[in-house]
Amino acid sequence: MNVYLDAGHHVSFGTFPLRGVELATAMRSAAEIGYRSFDTAQMYENEREVGDCLSTLGLARDDLFITTKVSPNNYAASAFLSSVEQSLKDLRLDQVDVLLLHWPDQHGDNAEALDLLQQAHDRGYAAHIGVSNYTISMMEDAVSRLSVHPVANQVEFHPFLNAEKLRSASARLDLPLTAYCAVARGKMAQSPLLDDIGQAHGKTGTQVGLRWTLQKGVAINAMSTKADNLRLNFELQDFQLSDAEMSRIDALMEEGYRIVNSDLVPTAPQWD
Ligand SMILES: NC(=O)c1ccc[n+]([C@@H]2O[C@H](COP(=O)([O-])OP(=O)(O)OC[C@H]3O[C@@H](n4cnc5c(N)ncnc54)[C@H](OP(=O)(O)O)[C@@H]3O)[C@@H](O)[C@H]2O)c1
């Protein structure tokens, strides 16, 4: 089961690092194009602005699909649930669709944060819960510790990074990956191979890279401030990559290009 893909949210609009007018303009464009799934986080410090914008879109709550993430700064028992209550207040929601732990606990023990995430679910603050930036052993711990099955592990995922071990563990555990940095921050637009495959389908190289991710069974988070890019990133359902094309793109994974690395996030885990 993949709560994003099953509900038709093959692409979510990722709101980091947008704020203010830029955020509101991009969210409105995204909604006009057809995006109904929006991804935010306590760490992005934009939940209130996201909530303000959602309330002006004129969309029914049931049509929206909202993900937020608890910051590791709020993993203490004294802070966790009240921080989620604040997120709900800022987002102007009674419940988010998916609540994630944003990063593994920096002291290496995820048990308390997972228990608190479970409590947030039990209180009705989230319809579904999950994790982000979890390694294979962390995913195994999460699945065995939580009493409801987690629905997502949001990780960096694009054709220039080999996440195959993580992906096969996610299939074994029935804990779907969702992709962040899914357009590799624009790098897919510069790939001659993706561009070449795109020409055969009347698509851009970025669309080919995103389609590759979808055909791996991974739902996408992508951010753009431009309506044209937002539209291109959304229009992925009208073509199919062949097995041969998928294999050619697989070869790009050997580049091992990780954007959100330990220079950027010193507490990032040792990836599998
Ligand atoms: N869980 C986590 O730890 C984590 C970490 C990072 C991100 N995220 C989430 O994932 C979302 C997406 O990740 P991201 O924003 O870091 O990376 P991304 O979506 O891969 O890259 C966004 C950048 O790519 C450009 N871009 C978008 N579409 C394009 C296209 N079709 N052609 C060329 N360039 C394009 C955008 O520029 P323009 O504005 O010029 O289009 C923007 O600068 C975030 O917004 C956030 O919600 C989560």
Q: Kindly report, residue by residue over 68-83, the tens digit of the pLDDT.
A: 999 999 999 999 999 9
Note whether residue 138 is domain-resident.
Answer: yes
- Domain span including residue 54: 3-255
Q: Name the pTM for this structure.
A: 0.98
Note whether residue 13 is domain-resident.
Answer: yes
User: Measured from the CA of 132, which atom of ligand 1 is nearest?
Assistant: 1
Question: Which residue's C-alpha comes closest to atom 44 of ligand 1?
Answer: 14
At residue 4 the predicted structure's pLDDT band, cuts being 50, 70 and 90, is: very high
Region 155-171 average pLDDT:
98
Note whether residue 120 is domain-resident.
Answer: yes
Note whether residue 224 is domain-resident.
Answer: yes
Task: Tell how far CA 99 is from the center of its chain.
Answer: 11
At residue 187 the predicted structure's pLDDT band, cuts being 50, 70 and 90, is: very high
30-48: pLDDT as tens digits: 999 999 999 999 999 999 9
Q: What is the pLDDT of residue 215?
A: 98
111, amino acid identity: A
Note whether residue 170 is domain-resident.
Answer: yes
107-116: pLDDT as tens digits: 889 999 999 9
Region 62-66 average pLDDT:
98
Q: How many domains is the chain built from?
A: 1
Looking at the chain, the whole-number percentage of residues with pLDDT higher than 70 is 100
Region 211-230 average pLDDT:
98
Question: Which residue's C-alpha comes closest to atom 10 of ligand 1?
Answer: 180
**Residue 158: closest CA among 205, 199, 225:** 205
Check whether 262 has a pLDDT greater than 90: no
Tell how far the Cα of 16 is from the centroid of ligand 1, in angstroms: 8
The 3-class SS string of the chain reads CCHHHHCCCCEEEECCCCCHHHHHHHHHHHHHHCCCEEECCHHHCCHHHHHHHHHHCCCCHHHCEEEEEECHHHCCCCCHHHHHHHHHHHHCCCCEEEEEECCCCCCCCCHHHHHHHHHHHHCCCEEEEEEECCCHHHHHHHHHHCCCCCCCEEEECCCCCCCHHHHHHHHHHCCCEEEECCCHHHHHHHCHHHHHHHHHHCCCHHHHHHHHHHHCCCEEEECCCCHHHHHHHHCCCCCCCCHHHHHHHHHHHHHCCCCCCCCCCCCCCCCC
Tell how far the Cα of 180 is from the centroid of ligand 1, in angstroms: 7
Q: Is 187 or 267 the better-scoring residue by pLDDT? A: 187
Note whether residue 22 is domain-resident.
Answer: yes
Decide if 35 is catalytic.
no
Q: Which of 27, 180, 187, 194 to mutate to test the pocket of ligand 1 (most atoms within 8 A of CB)?
A: 180
Q: Is 194 in the pocket of ligand 1 (CB under 6 A)?
A: no
Note whether residue 83 is domain-resident.
Answer: yes
Question: Which residue's C-alpha comes closest to atom 41 of ligand 1?
Answer: 224
234-254: pLDDT as tens digits: 999 999 999 999 999 999 999
| Choice among 4, 35, 44, 134 that is catalytic | 44
Q: Which CATH number do you get for residue 121?
A: 3.20.20.100
Region 217-227 average pLDDT:
97
Q: What is the pLDDT of residue 108?
A: 86
Q: What is the pLDDT of residue 266?
A: 85
Note whether residue 270 is domain-resident.
Answer: no
At residue 106 the predicted structure's pLDDT band, cuts being 50, 70 and 90, is: confident
At residue 173 the predicted structure's pLDDT band, cuts being 50, 70 and 90, is: very high
- Residues composing the chain: 272
